[in-house]
Amino acid sequence: MVYLLNMTKERRGFFELILATFLFSLFGVFTRLISDYLGVFFQLLLRTLIMAILFSVFAWITRNIKKINKHDLCLLIFRGLLVVIDFSCFYIAVNHLQLGLALFLFYAANVIISFLFGSMFLKEKMNTAKYISISLALLGLFVMYKDSFVGVKMLPSLAALISGSCFGLTASTSKKLTDKYSSWQVNFIGYLTAFLLVIPVLFISRESFTFNLPILTWIELLGFASVGAGAFYLTLNGFNHLEAQKASIIMLAELIFVVLIGFLFYSEVPTLNTFLGGLLILSALLIPNLNIKLIKLR
């Protein structure tokens, strides 16, 4: 921890995002554990509520609570809406497309929207390293998931693109807020908003639910929410210390961790394409973030 505090902001942001991606990679593990007892939207309802409570507690403990400017309130609430749209669309995508194709579209949209937002609204400049990085990242995604490009369906594919775009916007727009408010407070308002928005979605979906759950399921749900809170806190901090364009590429490290977890705990043996795609993605996230010198475009 002391080592992290003594780092430059960019290095600190890099390692915060790497840790965040590791936490994100655990989402699949927790989903498998609780999916037998919790429906999709009821799970989201409970998780956003617990995360909002956790963020509010840490904001209060650290005394990082400021009066919200009316102009910023709209953006804070909008981020909560993005969370709900992201999750809902991702659920549609993974249930109607091959998982590999859904992930390819999600992460491709995430990277592209972050680069566009960074250029258009954050005035981040492109250079040779970034052009090479995004090219390697998209190529790595294609190589990793190209065997899944069958049975393409228009609406689920659009849902995957919307989900990835929402995730990219959720992270990138935080840069407009974290220079004024703490990551705890920004996340608290976002997830409180998400919780309130999920309530009508749960009833519209007519999903059955009950609070009479096994103790172990409640513990797993609390663990899931805690991991999620840590992941999103680190994500906002990382984006605050780095350009959105660089940060979005680092987020692809989640795919590498997912492969490792699948191999170590579920005996899922990576294919040659997975290895090659992973190497391309690893190269993509290192080039613009570890001071690798390349000739800048004039």
2 found inside a domain: no
297 found inside a domain: no
Query: Structurally, how many domains does the chain consist of?
Result: 1
Question: H or E segment at 168?
Answer: helix 154-173
17 found inside a domain: no
Q: What is the pLDDT of residues 143-165, one digit of tens each?
A: 999 888 876 788 999 999 999 99
Residue in 177, 182, 169, 206 with CA at minimum distance from that of residue 85: 169
pLDDT confidence band for 170 (50 / 70 / 90): very high
For residue 40, give its domain range. Answer: 24-286
113 found inside a domain: yes
Residue in 286, 260, 251 with CA at minimum distance from that of residue 18: 251
Q: What is the pLDDT of residues 15-51, one digit of tens each?
A: 999 999 999 999 888 887 887 788 889 999 999 999 9
pTM: 0.89
14 found inside a domain: no
292 found inside a domain: no
